[in-house]
Structure 1
Amino acid sequence: MSTMQGVVLPGDSTVEHVTVPVPEPGPGQVLLRVRASSICGSDIRAIYREHLGHGAEAYQGVIAGHEPCGEVVGLGAGSRRLVEGDRVVVYHIAGCGMCDECRRGYEVGCHSPHRAAHGWQRDGGHAEFLLAEERSCILLPEPLTFVDGALVSCGFGTAYEGLRRADVSGRDRLLVTGLGPVGLAACMLGRAMGATEVIGMDVVPERVELARRLGLVDGAVTSSDDLVRVVRECTGDGVEVAIDCSGNPQARELALRSTRPWGRTVFVGEGGDVTFAVSDLLIHKQIQLHGSWVTSVLHMEELLAELVRWELHPDVIVTDILPLSQAARAYELADGGRTGKVCLVTNAPEKSG
């Protein structure tokens, strides 16, 4: 029996390497050779540091990594769409396929106890091979790279869904609070969707500098006082759209405070809570407040096509690419909170220009 190398997360900020059998694809499944598998902030928050152990974030000791991208190397019985050699992005949640959320394409919200997310309840992408449902795989169009595809499978998909929920267009100025990988994605995609001005905020200077260096923002600040000043200078009465990608209570409140009357605010950052003056910041300003969780299969496919049309490569926000053998170092870097995206590869990285 062939074996492969993989990574599991036992908690307590540790990484463990394991050797396991290469899985065989069953009916409706495909086997992928993983080419890139990036690290998500939720992996750090909910698994690497400690196991939350409940709900959608119940980690079952499986191979980690829910942002995989690779190529098809094996087909199960009944495969109807993919062929060996296809490059694919994986929608990382496999739902029951029958509930209302699944039928909308939002398998992330599947109600069934059979719902299983890669890297949480079923083996993920931090391995040499990955077993996936054929229906969960989306073709990766040229000229996007495997690293691009890994980033789309969660982080960029999450940012796109939030911006889409707010209907960002050329009528809007955009504020992004939290300039981690999802926030950087929101800046990049918001500009491509038409936002005329993009303002960013993060308390970590290195992330603000990265956003500036990549040309993703018109202005970026590290303090709430500076944010209030910059928003006032740039917009007068606030931005039309604000999206919080941090999950921080103060940043969420600032996003609402910085949104102009009749504007839209979106929360995509996971965890934590928020307290704000409901009448002053929401009701009297007539703001639409949206919660947005990951994305749908259809919108992920749509985003891949748009990235080609916009001539954008998500991999520009990647600051660190490491081999699977250096997973511990990769998680340390991601946990430090001062990098862009961190990605693991199982072969020489394919990265745009």
Structure 2
Amino acid sequence: MKGVLLPGQRQVKFKEFPVPEPGHGQVLVKMKASSICGSDIRAIYREHLGKGPEAYQNVIAGHEPCGQIEKVGPGCKRFKAGDRVIIYHISGCGVCWDCRHGYMISCTSPLRAAYGWQRDGGHADYLLAEENTCVALPDALSFVDGALVACGFGTVYEALQRVDVSGRDKVLVTGMGPVGMAAGLLAKAMGATYVVGVDISEARLSFSKEVQAVDDIVVSDDQAIKRLHEMTDSHGFEVSIDCSGSPAARHLALEGTRRWGRCVMVGEGNTINFDVSHLLIHRQITMYGSWVTSLGHIEDLVERLVRWNLHPEVTVSHRFTLDQAEEAYRVADAGQSGKVCIVME
């Protein structure tokens, strides 16, 4: 089978691999969709961080996989050949506190291995997965929908639950890449009355408005905070979520948060420097960090997407075949598109 490796320095390499055989508790999944995450671009495609949970081990790339089970190994308890599945993209030790609560992302065991980072991922014809990392994909959702749930939509659903978004809230999203679009769509589905997106890219802002991820858009410049205050009658937003990882955008998210409001950070990388007393303490803001999600919350999200008739694939602006992976990564790296997805259906 064909698989994609990411050697770094913005290179994409194709290599032939044998089709794996599922062992005990494993399933062989025929890949149908495998989308590209901003973390893949930041930490693997451009460079190899080489340490911690983001250490890339020269495996088949792609940590947002979705497909159909081709074969099951001995000891499988739930899934069978023919089942449509999303793969939660981290396989943990299974016995620590985090794993037992479904948060394999936070497993600190040496046995932890993320698909596409430390074990083979979804940019291939087949993927060998642990059955306990599979989530059933309902017929009402497409394989592309499922791939986007595997990381991006799951990540922001966790964050929005953490800050308890509801119909009481106006929501500010800084960073309108694919994760920001997911945040806007889910915030609206969860009842937010007004969602505003901020970005430096007018192309991404325009696309966000086109797919109805936001109600209004603001270009990030030195007048952005003024416009955000005008949009909220000088009150600010009950909830803000930074999906950019940019120091300036994070600061803007805090500035735009209403007194007694909640601010959650999900964008990876970089730092932030601010006057804690002025921006956080005196304004009584609660600040959260949120990293990916749990298996249970992905299952919950999948059920709600069907109920809401919400399809994550609306955020996809570019689709490529596996053979076009090099171009797919170039488009994603440019940072001007919606979600980029490799489709094998």
1:139 to 116, 131, 136: 136
1:231, distance to aligned residue in structure 2 (A): 1.9
Partner of 2:290: 292
How far off its partner does 1:103 sit? 1.0
Q: CA deviation at 1:36?
A: 0.1
**Seq. identity, %:** 59
Q: Which moved more, 1:228-237 or 1:12-21?
A: 228-237
Q: Does the residue aligned with 2:17 lie in a helix, a strand or coil?
A: strand
Distance 1:124 1:223 in 2: 35
Q: Name the residue aligned to 2:334.
A: 336
Gaps of 5+ in 2: none
2:314 to 316, 333, 338: 316
Aligned to 1:350: none
User: Residue in 1 aligned with 2:248?
Assistant: 250
Q: State how far apart, in whole Å, the 2-side matches of 1:226 and 1:33 are.
A: 49
Q: Does 1:305 align with 2:284?
A: no
TM-score (norm 2): 0.99
Aligned to 1:5: 2
* Structure 1: unaligned runs, 5 residues or longer: 348-353
Q: Secondary structure at the match of 1:82?
A: coil
Q: Match of 2:185, as an amino acid?
A: M
Aligned partner of 2:136: which letter?
L
Residue 230 of structure 1: how far off its partner (Å): 2.8
Q: State the alpha-carbon separation in 1 of the partners of residues 110 and 270 from structure 2.
A: 25
Structure 1 counterpart of 2:177, from 152, 163, 180:
180
Partners of 2:162 and 2:224 in 1: CA distance: 24
Q: Does 1:215 align with 2:212?
A: yes
User: In the TM superposition, what is the alpha-carbon distance from 1:65 to its structure 2 partner?
Assistant: 0.2
Given the alignment, which residue of 46, 50, 53 partners 2:47?
Answer: 50
Moved more, 122-131 or 219-228: 219-228
Shift in Å, 1:80: 1.0
1:234 Cα deviation after fit: 2.1
Q: What per-residue deviation string (whole Å, max 9, x for no partner) do you get for residues 95-128 of structure 1?
A: 0011111111100000100100000000000000
Kept after mapping to 2: 8 A contact 1:259/1:265:
yes
Letter in 1 for 2:66: C
User: Displacement of 1:217 after TM fit?
Assistant: 1.4
| CA displacement, residues 48-81 of structure 1 (integer Å, 9 cap, x when unaligned) | 0010000000000000000000000110101110
- 2:106 maps to 1:109: yes
- Offset at residue 222 of structure 1 (A): 1.3
Q: 2:84 maps to what in 1?
A: 87
Deviates most, 176-185 or 226-235? 226-235
Rounded to whole Å, the distance in 1 between the matches of 2:344 and 2:43 is 24
Letter in 1 for 2:24: P
Alignment match, 1:280 = 278
CA deviation after TM superposition for structure 1 residue 232, in Å: 1.4
User: Alignment partner for residue 170 of structure 1, among 157, 167, 172?
Assistant: 167
In 2: Cα distance, 1:214 partner to 1:70 partner: 25
User: How far apart are the structure 2 equivalents of 1:97 and 1:143?
Assistant: 30
- In the alignment, the residues of structure 2 paired with residue 73 and residue 96 of structure 1 have an alpha-carbon distance, to the nearest angstrom, of 25
Once superposed, which parts of structure 1, at least 4 consecutive aligned residues long, lie more than 6 Å away? none
What is residue 74 of structure 2 aligned with on the other side?
A: 77
Q: Which residue identity lines up with residue 22 of structure 2 in the other structure?
A: P
Structure 1 residue 237: Cα displacement: 1.4
- Per-residue deviation at 1:223? 2.1
- Equivalent of residue 65 in structure 1, options 62, 69, 74: 62
Residue identity in the other structure for 1:186: A
Deviation at 1:213, TM superposition (A): 1.2
**Take 2:95 and 2:142, find their aligned partners in 1: how far apart are those partners?**
32
Conserved in 2, the CA contact under 8 Å of 1:224 and 1:254?
no
Matches of 1:326 and 1:165, distance apart in 2:
38
Q: Report the Cα offset of residue 224 of structure 1.
A: 3.5
The structural deviation recorded for 1:226 is 4.0
CA-CA distance at 1:255 after TM superposition: 0.4
State the shift of 1:142 in Å: 2.1
Name the TM-score, length of structure 1 as normaliser: 0.96
**Aligned counterpart, 2:158:** 161
Other structure's SS at 1:70 match: strand
CA-atom RMSD, angstroms?
Answer: 0.7
- Cα separation, 1, equivalents of 2:213 and 2:264: 19
For residue 345 of structure 1, what is the aligned residue in structure 2? 343
CA contact (8 A) 1:202 1:208 kept: yes
Aligned pair count? 344
Q: Which residue of 1 aligns with 2:15?
A: 18
